Structure formats: C-alpha cells, structure tokens
C-alpha cells in the first residue's frame, strides 16, 4: 500500500477516535504543534541541536456565556472579561527522532463589573514534553508521540475575588500527532 494511502487511513482512524462532544476551559494554554510540518510537509522532529522558538498572542473579550440549554446568557453584574495572553513555545532536537519541548504562557486578565474591577497578571500553566518521531526507531511514518506534563506557573488563589492564572494542578499529558501535505497547495492536514 502506498505511503499516501497509509497516511489517509491513519488520519481517518484518528478522527474516528475523537469524542463526539468537546468541551473547553476558560484559561487553558494548549500546546502548539511542530512548525516543521508547515515548512517541510513532514512531522519529523528537529535534528540534534536544531530548534525553534515561537511567540503567539491571544486576545479575547466576553460579556456572556452559553447556558446548558445552548442559550446565550449575560455574566452576572454586567461583567466584561478580557484576556490578553502571550505564549512562548520552543523545542530543541536532543537526538535524531527526539526533541524536548516547552511552553510558558503569560496572562493578563481583567474583569470589569458593576461591583468593581479585578485584575491578574503573571505566568499560567507551564508545559514541558518530549516529542518522539518515527526516526527514533529508524522508520519513516507520519506519526509523532508527545509525552509531557503541565505545572502551575503561579499560585492558585482560593479567593472568589481573585482571578486565577492557572488551573492549580499538575496534569500528565500524552498526544499522538499525524499529518500530511495536501498536494502542492501549501496546505496540510494535521490531527
């Protein structure tokens, strides 16, 4: 079977394993994938001693939320929640097929309401990981495995008047990545 058909079957299998309903968290700094996929059309890890650094920004303003029935509802006290975040992400090749990866988010959160304003600025949840590509075991296949952890980058306030910058817990994470370029279009599909 040609490698392109294997790639398509692998991605279709990964998509079939996705949950039907996805949920999110308010301040959760999700890992970015390897920028080498977009530049080279591959999931290969960085060569030994090679690396990359990426700075991403996020801005979000909300004055309401969606209730359990799916209807839009205003926050209590005519509140407005502003999030401004920067994510510093980097990776370095340790061995052929193995890279170390880290991400440090910095958040500036503001809530303005009729009852007063609240602000928090600082480091959010820090992530570190090892990313292993197929070249680690001497094969060429469009799959990479990432094993890592998320740590609180700042104190989690147990106070309803303070905005938390972190989830306040340590999580162990594992992910499986795959992807393929879509011909010569410069586009790619990744999961």
Query: Which contacts (CB < 8 Å, 24+ apart) does range 165-169 have?
Result: 165/27, 165/107, 165/109, 165/120, 165/121, 165/122, 165/123, 165/124, 166/27, 166/123, 166/124, 166/125, 167/25, 167/27, 167/28, 167/125
Q: What is the pLDDT of residue 133?
A: 86
Q: What is the pLDDT of residue 106?
A: 93
The string of pLDDT tens digits covering residues 106-163 is 999 998 888 888 899 999 999 999 999 888 888 777 888 889 999 988 888 887 778 8
Q: What is the pLDDT of residue 4?
A: 55
Domain ranges of the chain: 3-17+28-190
Q: What is the pLDDT of residue 18?
A: 53
The string of pLDDT tens digits covering residues 48-94 is 998 889 898 999 998 888 888 888 888 888 889 899 999 999 999 99
Q: Is the pLDDT of residue 26 over 50?
A: no
The more confidently predicted of residues 33 and 28 is: 33
The more confidently predicted of residues 164 and 139 is: 164
Mapped onto helix, strand or coil, the DSSP state of residue 55 is: strand
pTM: 0.71
């Amino acid at each position: 079977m040609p490698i392109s058909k294997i790639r398509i079957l692998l991605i279709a299998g990964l998509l079939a394993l996705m949950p039907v309903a996805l949920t999110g968290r308010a301040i959760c700094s999700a890992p970015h994938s390897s920028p080498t996929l977009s530049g080279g059309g591959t999931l290969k890890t960085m060569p030994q001693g090679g690396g990359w650094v990426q700075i991403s920004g996020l801005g979000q303003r909300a004055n309401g939320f969606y209730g359990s029935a799916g209807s839009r509802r205003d926050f209590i006290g005519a509140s407005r929640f502003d999030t401004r975040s920067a994510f510093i992400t980097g990776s370095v090749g340790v061995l052929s097929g193995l890279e170390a990866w880290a991400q440090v988010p910095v958040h500036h959160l503001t809530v303005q309401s009729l009852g007063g304003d609240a602000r928090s600025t600082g480091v959010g949840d820090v992530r570190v990981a090892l990313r292993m590509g197929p070249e680690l075991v001497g094969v060429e296949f469009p799959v990479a495995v990432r094993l890592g952890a998320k740590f609180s980058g700042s104190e989690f306030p147990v106070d309803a008047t303070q905005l938390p910058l972190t989830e306040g817990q340590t999580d162990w994470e594992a992910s499986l990545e795959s992807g393929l370029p879509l011909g010569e279009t410069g586009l790619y599909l990744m999961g």
